[in-house]
Structure 1
Amino acid sequence: MAVKNADGTMLAQVIAPQDLQLSPDQQALIAPEGLSQCVRALMQNWRQGTVACKGRSDVAFSNKKPWKQKGTGRARAGSPRSPLWRKGGVTFGPQPRVRTLTVPKTLRRGVCNTLLWNYLNNEKVMSLNWVAQEAAPKTAHAFNALKQAGLADKKVLLFVTNYDAATHASFNNISNVKMLLFDQANAYHLASGDYWVFLNKDMDAFKEMVSAWI
């Protein structure tokens, strides 16, 4: 794992612990089927499930028969609530429902562990020695740090703490940066970035996050 200064110079190289390595059997079990299973579960559980429309029992009409059955010359009609009528109910329309998919905790941890090892093995985890301007956070200041680190045109997943408002404000308007809280890491976002980046001052938070996967 590379530790870089704000001007792009290398400060240190951190070697990943052996605990992150998985056996071939474990890797075959987890990827790629395990990753796709976790992503499907996340995307399904993020859905609100509030879509709805009115059926014939919900629309605002009386139960009176529009006209008598015979003798008018018109087609017979029993209710203005019919889906054939204007403002009638919808046939087989969607209704609110909750669909929940669950994934075993062991599989989730294994997927995150595999992703971490792949990013470390490909040297795509970076610790940036950069501090936001607390008084007046500047997007240009943050973008310059990414540019010096060679990440200006890369999809960056930036791990941040919940209380670091200055860092949030600095990186919020950079289109290729996705900020993710340490305690909200998930397979969908972990697999979406080209690089994982966190600040040097958040090293302990990063260690705490990955320790839950090992």
Structure 2
Amino acid sequence: MELAVAGGANIEVSDRVFGREFSEPLVHQVVISYLAGARAGTKAQKNRSDVSGGGRKPWRQKGTGNARAGTIRSPIWRTGGVTFAARPRDFTQKVNRKQYRSAIKAILSELVRQERLVIVDELKLAEPKSRLARELLDGLGVATGLLIDSEPEGNLYLGARNLRGVFVLAADRLDPVSLVSAEKVVMTRAAVEKIQEWLA
């Protein structure tokens, strides 16, 4: 299939990458897995066995007028342990390589169908200025979105980082969450070729 290039000749792309059917369950699974993998899982709290002290009964069972107590480390006591203490966890969900690549293809294909994918010859700025980046995007009719190049230049990174809702990504760092959440995706010819080579 052919895709239009802004201000240039059309580009031939693979139907297997940009013409695939959209599978919502697959994309959902891959997105959830990607987000889960980004969780640190390092939260930890102490339960009653981890808190120091509490080796003996604080007072006798009867005759003091106080409530019965067996340890000063009870969860209902100040400085006591936490009832359901958090533990370090690994939140990663396994998604094999074939599923991941299929989800990326499905997302790219859906971007084409919804006319949210814009292909250009190159993404370059003469200077690292936000004004130039804004003018570049306005010329493409893009307010916010994701800019993808095979090897983004430094001026593009510096010029676009101060624009709200605009992100720059290298083609080999492509991820499902960035693609799904972007209003528009602007991609260079070189990026398209690199992504096709990866997903073919």
TM range (shorter): 0.7 to 0.9
Check the 8 A contact 1:183/1:209 in 2, yes or no. Answer: yes
Of residues 54, 79, 92 in structure 2, which corresponds to 1:100? 92
Unaligned runs of 5+ in 2: none
User: In the alignment, residue 195 of structure 2 is paired with which amino acid?
Assistant: M
Provide the aligned length of Structure 1 versus Structure 2: 196
The Cα shift of 1:158 comes to 1.1
Give a deviation string over 1:97-141, Cα, whole Å, max 9, x none.
1132111222222121222223234442321544223xx510111
Structure 2 contact 4–11 (Cα < 8 Å) conserved? yes
Cα pair 1:128 1:197 within 8 Å, conserved = no
Using a 3 Å threshold, how does the CA distance of structure 1 residues 162 and 170 change in structure 2: closer, same or farther?
same
- 162 and 74 in structure 1: CA distance in 2 versus 1, 3 angstrom threshold: farther
TM-score normalised by L of structure 1? 0.81
User: Partners of 1:32 and 1:19 in 2: how far apart?
Assistant: 17
Give the RMSD, CA atoms, in angstroms. Answer: 2.2
Aligned residue for 1:13? 10
1:2–1:14 Cα contact (<8 Å) kept: yes
CA 1:163/1:128 → structure 2, altered by over 3 Å: closer, same or farther?
A: closer
Q: 1:125 aligns with which of 107, 118, 129?
A: 118
In structure 2, the partner of 1:3 is: 5
Distance (whole Å) between structure 1 residues aligned to residue 138 and residue 152 of structure 2: 25
**Percent pairwise identity:** 31
Match of 2:193 in 1: 207
Question: 1:209 Cα shift?
Answer: 2.0
**2:199 aligned counterpart, secondary structure:** coil
Relative to the length of structure 2, the TM-score reads 0.86
- 1:16–1:120 contact (8 Å) kept in structure 2: no
3-state DSSP of counterpart to 2:186: strand
CA offset digits 1:47-93 (Å, max 9, x no partner): 11111111112223341321122221111111110011111111012
Deviations 1:131-165 (A, max 9, x none): 223xx51011101111121112xx31111456732
Instruction: Return closer, same or farther for 1:162/1:64 CA change in 2, 3 Å cut-off.
Output: farther
SS at match of 2:147: strand
- Secondary structure of 2:181's aligned partner: coil
